[in-house]
Amino acid sequence: MFQKKTLIAIFSFVYISFNSQEKTNILWLVCEDQSLFFSSYFDSIAKTPNLDELASIGIVYDNFFAVSPVCSPSRSSIATGMYPTTIGTQHMRAYKKNKGSINSKTNLPIYSAVPKRKVQFFTEILRANGYYCSNNSKEDYNMEMSPLAWDESNKNAHWRKRAKNQPFFSVFNFNITHESRIWKNHEKHSEEDINKIILPPFFPKNHTIKNDFVTNYKNIEKLDEQVGEIIEQLKEDGLYDKTIIFFYSDHGGPFPRYKRSIYDSGLKCPLIIKWTEPKIKPRNDQMISFIDLAPTILELTKSQTIHKMEGVSFYNQNNRDYIFAATDRFDEFTDKRRCVRNNEFKLIINWDTKSSAMKPVSYRKNMKTMRILDSLNDLKKNTNSMENWYKNTKPKYELYDIVNDPYELNNLSSNKDYDNVFNELKKKLNDWIDDSDYGNITEPKMIEEMWPSGEKPDLKDPKIIKTERGFKIISNNENSSLGWRDSPNENWQVYLKEEIIYPKNNFEIIEFSPGYGSKKSLFKI
């Protein structure tokens, strides 16, 4: 009780302090494919002085979870504040820009998800509220990106291109820790470095696997240098004390049974936030989901939206009671799994019980660790947990005591002593699934529902109303965003409902809706 009251007091102080100030800047530093391999999480192998400094003056969040253990679905949840299973973005590599109409690995059409509910990229809302939004530079949302979401999105995007004194929301994505960099940056490391590695208990003790782990730690050190460069630029501009800085990963670690895994190794991520206010408590144990990032940023920036998100702001909020996550298709393999987690236990439901939890995704076989595990499995020399991972069957349910079994090795689902826990979590999970899970139907049926006859839906033209002072734009489409500009050389301005605009001459209008894409039109005055 004391802890909960303390948390409330802390966040009340921060909330009052923040809301007495002008709009603040937000900087996101986003790495890829990393679990808690950082000294702020008591893993001291990688030397990360810049991230350590950030943690020393910020808050380290101990319970931050992705909604999917792979990048594109996760990013869609970050961008919208919605679960991928709600908006139809749960299948990895569904949407590809400037590619053919058929996914060669699945033989399914390349499509952009059409959500069942009203959805908006949260940076559209930030821009409508006066923020300069830049993304450097990854866009990977499993659906077409809104042209209204960013002032700029490319490898040169930077807050420095904003108008003078304009508040900014800037994202920098760091690819150096991506799964692919394990094999692209492969080298034989020293025995001294290899001997420092203590592998998780589900991995066999193997020299090559340890070498891959060393490579990952070396990549983290390079990440830290890149993070330091961005922070130094912020200091040079005199903005460091006026900017809230987030550091996090897009999902769990790059290794087998981490990435693409619904266990905590694939879902639990680092999150460090440097607030503009003085630090009161160095660590925070709130349970936070990726869907909570967007509403939190909207609260921090005092940006209003009429669209209800599934996420909730964790700024000045009590703990979540439950975390939900899902897996579906990874490249060429589908494995529908759903999970719910509280502070003590996790329940997983497996739909396909007649297949292995290990999916032989071709991309992952580039990693030496994966090839070692394959060969050991062929020789029947794997660990028991790895043997279970390779089994051609899965149990319908998996229940884990997270506190005493953090690696999720001992399935308690058939243990009668845990019936109450099992039933509670099962009900919560089924309620979540029944609410809006697109995974209740197969991907081909989902595509047919979204794009009848395989055709991308069309947007209707908006209506333009001339007033005494200017013009109003009225959409004839549901779930869409509007923008306008005076010239093709200008950025799109987000149009607010009932807003009167004052174009200088003939002006362009753009309308965007998830799954439908965007449609431009020219209005002549």
- Tell me the per-residue pLDDT of 174-223, one tens digit each, with 9 for 90 and over: 999 999 999 999 999 999 999 999 999 999 999 999 999 999 999 999 99
Would you state the pLDDT for residue 319?
77
- pLDDT surpassing 50 at residue 445: yes
Rounded CA-CA distance 438/85 in Å is 5
Contact (Cβ atoms closer than 8 angstroms) between residue 58 and residue 245: yes
Same domain, 228 and 166: yes
Same domain, 137 and 269: yes
- pLDDT surpassing 90 at residue 97: no
Same domain, 424 and 472: no
Contact (Cβ atoms closer than 8 angstroms) between residue 29 and residue 45: no
Contact (Cβ atoms closer than 8 angstroms) between residue 135 and residue 152: yes
Q: Can you say how many angstroms the Cα of residue 323 is from the centroid of all Cα atoms in its chain? A: 14
Task: Kindly state the tokens that stand for 518.
Answer: 């965007």
Q: Where are the alpha helices (DSSP H) in 31-179?
A: 49-57, 71-80, 84-87, 122-128
Q: Is 517 helix (H, G, I), strand (E, B) or coil?
A: strand
Task: Kindly state the tokens that stand for 484.
Answer: 């306008």
Same domain, 269 and 358: no
Range of the domain at 185: 2-327
Out of 27-31, 303-307, 478-482, the most confident range is 27-31
Least confident residue range of 14-28, 209-223, 408-422: 14-28
Each residue's pLDDT tens digit, 115-158? 988 899 999 999 999 999 999 999 999 999 999 999 999 999 99
Would you state the pLDDT for residue 311?
95
- pLDDT surpassing 70 at residue 462: yes
Same domain, 308 and 414: no
- pLDDT surpassing 50 at residue 11: no
Task: Kindly state the tokens that stand for 465.
Answer: 């109303």
For the chain, the helix, strand and coil percentages under 3-state DSSP, each to the nearest 5: 30, 20, 45
Q: What is the CATH number of the domain that holds 470?
A: 2.60.40.10
Would you state the pLDDT for residue 454?
82
Rounded CA-CA distance 310/317 in Å is 15
Same domain, 339 and 432: yes
Same domain, 245 and 255: yes
Rounded CA-CA distance 333/105 in Å is 9
What is the DSSP code string of 453-516?
GGPPPPPPPPEEEE-SSSEEEE--SSS-EEEEESSTTSPPEEPPTT--B--SSSEEEEEEETTT
- pLDDT surpassing 50 at residue 254: yes
Would you state the pLDDT for residue 98?
60
- pLDDT surpassing 60 at residue 13: no
- pLDDT surpassing 50 at residue 1: no
Same domain, 485 and 440: no
Same domain, 352 and 420: yes
Amino acid found at 182: I
Q: Where are the alpha helices (DSSP H) in 201-310?
A: 207-236, 264-267, 293-300
Same domain, 347 and 446: yes
Would you state the pLDDT for residue 282?
93
**DSSP code of residue 190:** P
Q: What is the CATH number of the domain that holds 108?
A: 3.40.720.10
113: left (phi over 0), alpha (psi -120 to 50) or beta: beta
Q: Which residue, of 294, 327, 360, is where some domain finishes?
A: 327
Each residue's pLDDT tens digit, 61-86? 999 999 999 999 999 999 999 999 99
Q: Which residue, of 392, 418, 451, is where some domain finishes?
A: 451
Would you state the pLDDT for residue 479?
87
Q: Count the domains in the chain.
A: 3
Amino acid found at 291: I
- pLDDT surpassing 50 at residue 12: no
Contact (Cβ atoms closer than 8 angstroms) between residue 287 and residue 264: no
Q: Catalytic residue numbers?
A: 71
Q: What percent of the chain has pLDDT over 70?
A: 95
Mean pLDDT computed over every residue of the chain: 93
- pLDDT surpassing 70 at residue 2: no
Q: Which residue, of 416, 432, 451, is where some domain finishes?
A: 451
Whether the bond between 190 and the residue before it is cis, its omega within 30 degrees of 0, is no
Would you state the pLDDT for residue 8?
38
Length of the chain: 525
Would you state the pLDDT for residue 178?
98
Each residue's pLDDT tens digit, 362-414? 999 999 999 999 999 999 999 999 999 999 999 999 999 999 999 999 999 99
Contact (Cβ atoms closer than 8 angstroms) between residue 291 and residue 82: yes
Same domain, 404 and 256: no
Would you state the pLDDT for residue 258?
98
Average pLDDT over residues 467-477: 94
Q: What percent of the chain has pLDDT over 90?
A: 84
| 350 membership: H or E segment, kind and range | strand 345-350
Same domain, 118 and 229: yes
Rounded CA-CA distance 242/352 in Å is 50
